[in-house]
Every structure is written in structure tokens, then in C-alpha cells.
């Protein structure tokens, strides 16, 4: 069975920067509170681009860098909780924009773990069905599901997208993957999809389609999830935590990352953090961070890297990769 490597990476964020100061003009908050509780200084908020636009821009860069021709993409998966439409999928919209006619395209929803789940699915499909090239995107316009009157949530999130091209190879790239969900706690983080309204419904049910979060519960879950996911993905591999050069976590909150570093007994410097500039971009945060590391020249051949996601569902997961 062939191996799967990351052959290209790209990201795109809207140019509009919204600072903590800007937010303190619309809700009762302050730069000091947000920075102290989350580590976030600013985030990018779309001024009109939808998820498919952001996803396409990230994808174009990843494809260019991969050297793969768009016609040779056989699989496109977009992880998102903020699609443009119920149908078609964002993946099909991206497929049209790219002209990647030969691909199977679909979206998945695993919230902030979406990019990790999508890599796991793609790797399996590539190995089982023989797909040679896959495009994996995490993209969000969370700004459209944020309650801009709720200071407890609107300060946390941002918009953006990141993408990788996965390519069949004779050398190892994706070494191991891990995923797990706990649906019993789904109410900790919700944003409803539709109102219930049809001629047969007994009552019209108006649902709140903005993000509602029990911050404390999510915090507790997230810290435990990072620790479990990092340990699990290293199990039954030749690699231990000391061999891992970087951990790229979902960028939700600096305090979550600091806490997990302590629990894992690893240097905080091993965790790559850029949430200060982008906030929590859900499924996009890991590829945006990985792309930034790539552009800074931090990623060297043979580096072992753990990607770790956690979020709504509740879901969590991890990927152990060796950089090519």
C-alpha cells in the first residue's frame, strides 16, 4: 500500500482586521480582558467573501505549491461549519472554481476538529480506493454565525481558510491518525441550523442559529482532549513525544494550550501559536498555522509534527506527520 504525503499547503484570510479595541466599541469588553483570558489580540472578519471564496483562494495556493495539476485531483473535502449553502457543498463550489473536473467532492462537519477528520478520511480513501491526489480544506466564515451582541463569544472567533494537497508517495508522510467524539456533551457548543416550520409541524420552533457556548465546559473538555489526542496518535508508532518537533493545536485559546503543555510536560515552545492574530477560525485554524510555519521556513524534511484539533460535537483528533 502506498503512503500519503502533504505535497502542498496554502492559506487565505480576509484582509479586514478587527482588533480588541474595535470590539470594545460594540460590546462591553476590553483589550485587557480578551488578551488576558484568551491571548487573542485581533482577528480577520470577512467583508463579503463567503466560505467558498476563502476556501478557493487557500486551495489555489496549496495546488500551486504541490505541483499537482488541478485535473489530477481525485478528491476534494472541505471541513466547515459555515457552508455558503445547505446544498451544494462548499467542496463542489470549489471544484467548479478550480475546474477540477475529475474529483469526488463533499463537505464534512466536525467543527474545530474538521481538518483532522478530513485528513483521516482522505488518507483512508486514498489507501483503499487508490486516489492519487486529494485536496483538503478547512474554511470558515464564522462571522455569519456569531452573535455580535454576546461578549462571551464574539471576541473569540475569526474567518479564514487553509488547505493541503495530499499525494500518494513511496515515502511516509502521514504516519498515524486518531479521532474520537463525545456526542453526550454536544450542548456545550451549539449553533442551530433551521427553524422548524412546515404544514405538519405542531408548532413553529424558532431556533437560535448563532454560536452559544458553555465556555467553562468547553475549556475542561479541550484541555483533556489535547492530552488524550497527542498521546493516542503516538501509540504504536516509532515516535515518542521527544521526537516531535512541533505540536500544532487548534487555535482556540492560549490558556487551553498552556494548560495542555503543562499536563503533557512539554515545553510551551513546542506548541505553535498564532491565535493572537487570527482568533479561533475553527476548522481553518490548524492549516492556517501550518501554512504560516511553512512560509517562515520552520518546517524541515523529516520533522515530526502533531496536528491536534478539538471542538463542537464534541469532537477531537490528531494527525502525526513527517514533513517531506
Distance CA 90, CA 87 (A): 8
Instruction: Report, in Å, the least distance between residue 249 CB and ligand ACO.
Output: 10
- Taking CB under 6 A as the criterion, the residue among 5, 63, 175, 218 binding ligand ACO is 218
Yes or no: say if 310 and 283 are a contact pair by the CB < 8 Å rule. Answer: no
Yes or no: say if 94 and 103 are a contact pair by the CB < 8 Å rule. Answer: no
Has 129 been annotated as catalytic?
no
Distance CA 210, CA 110 (A): 17
Q: Is 34 left (phi over 0), alpha (psi -120 to 50) or beta?
A: alpha
Instruction: Report, in Å, the least distance between residue 79 CB and ligand ACO.
Output: 12
Of 14-43, binders to ligand ACO (CB under 6 A) are 29, 33-34, 37-38
Has 86 been annotated as catalytic?
no
Has 92 been annotated as catalytic?
no
The contact pattern for ligand ACO, residues 240-269, with x = CB under 6 A and - = no contact, is ----------x-xx--x-------------
Nearer to ligand ACO, 189 or 230 (CB): 189
Helix (H, G, I), strand (E, B) or coil at 212: strand
Of 127-156, binders to ligand ACO (CB under 6 A) are 151-152, 155-156
- Taking CB under 6 A as the criterion, the residue among 54, 78, 111, 257 binding ligand ACO is 111
Instruction: Report, in Å, the least distance between residue 246 CB and ligand ACO.
Output: 20
Burial of 15 (0-12, 13-18, 19+ CB in 10 A): exposed
Distance CA 247, CA 88 (A): 34
Instruction: Report, in Å, the least distance between residue 68 CB and ligand ACO.
Output: 30
Which cell is 60 given?
Answer: 489555489
Backbone angles phi, psi at 285, to 5 degrees: -65, -40
Yes or no: say if 226 and 307 are a contact pair by the CB < 8 Å rule. Answer: no
Binding site for ligand ACO (CB under 6 A): 29, 33-34, 37-38, 111-112, 151-152, 155-156, 189, 213, 215-216, 218-219, 222, 250, 252-253, 256, 280, 282, 311-312
List, by residue number, the catalytic residues: 112, 250, 280
Amino acid at each position: 500500500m502506498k503512503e500519503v504525503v502533504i505535497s502542498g499547503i496554502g492559506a487565505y484570510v480576509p484582509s479586514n482586521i478587527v482588533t480588541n479595541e474595535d470590539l470594545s466599541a460594540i460590546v462591553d469588553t476590553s483589550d485587557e480582558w480578551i488578551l488576558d483570558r484568551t491571548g487573542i489580540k485581533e482577528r480577520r472578519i470577512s467583508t463579503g467573501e463567503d466560505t467558498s471564496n476563502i476556501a478557493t483562494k487557500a486551495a489555489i495556493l496549496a495546488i500551486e505549491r504541490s505541483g499537482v495539476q488541478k485535473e489530477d485531483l481525485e478528491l476534494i473535502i472541505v471541513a466547515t461549519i459555515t457552508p455558503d449553502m445547505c446544498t451544494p457543498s462548499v467542496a463542489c463550489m470549489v471544484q467548479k472554481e478550480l475546474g477540477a473536473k475529475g474529483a469526488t467532492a463533499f463537505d464534512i462537519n466536525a467543527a474545530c476538529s474538521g481538518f483532522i477528520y478530513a485528513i483521516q478520511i482522505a488518507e483512508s480513501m486514498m489507501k483503499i480506493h487508490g486516489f492519487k491526489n486529494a485536496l483538503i480544506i478547512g474554511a470558515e466564515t464564522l462571522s455569519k454565525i456569531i452573535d455580535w451582541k454576546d461578549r462571551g463569544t464574539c471576541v473569540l472567533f475569526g474567518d479564514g481558510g487553509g488547505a493541503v494537497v495530499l499525494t500518494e508517495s513511496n515515502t511516509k508522510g502521514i504516519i498515524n491518525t486518531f479521532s474520537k467524539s463525545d456526542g453526550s456533551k454536544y450542548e456545550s457548543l451549539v449553533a442551530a441550523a433551521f427553524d422548524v416550520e412546515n404544514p405538519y409541524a405542531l408548532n413553529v420552533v424558532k431556533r437560535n442559529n448563532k454560536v452559544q457556548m458553555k465556555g467553562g465546559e468547553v475549556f475542561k473538555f479541550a484541555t483533556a482532549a489535547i492530552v488524550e489526542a497527542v498521546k493516542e496518535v503516538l501509540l504504536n508508532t516509532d515516535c515518542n513525544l521527544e521526537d516531535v518537533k512541533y505540536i500544532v493545536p487548534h487555535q482556540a485559546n492560549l490558556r487551553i494550550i498552556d494548560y495542555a503543555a503543562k499536563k503533557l510536560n512539554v515545553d510551551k515552545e513546542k506548541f505553535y501559536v498564532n491565535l493572537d492574530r487570527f482568533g479561533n477560525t475553527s476548522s481553518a485554524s490548524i492549516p492556517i498555522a501550518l501554512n504560516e510555519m511553512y512560509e517562515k521556513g520552520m518546517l524541515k524534511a523529516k520533522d515530526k509534527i502533531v496536528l491536534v484539533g478539538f471542538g463542537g460535537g464534541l469532537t477531537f483528533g490528531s494527525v502525526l506527520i513527517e514533513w517531506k
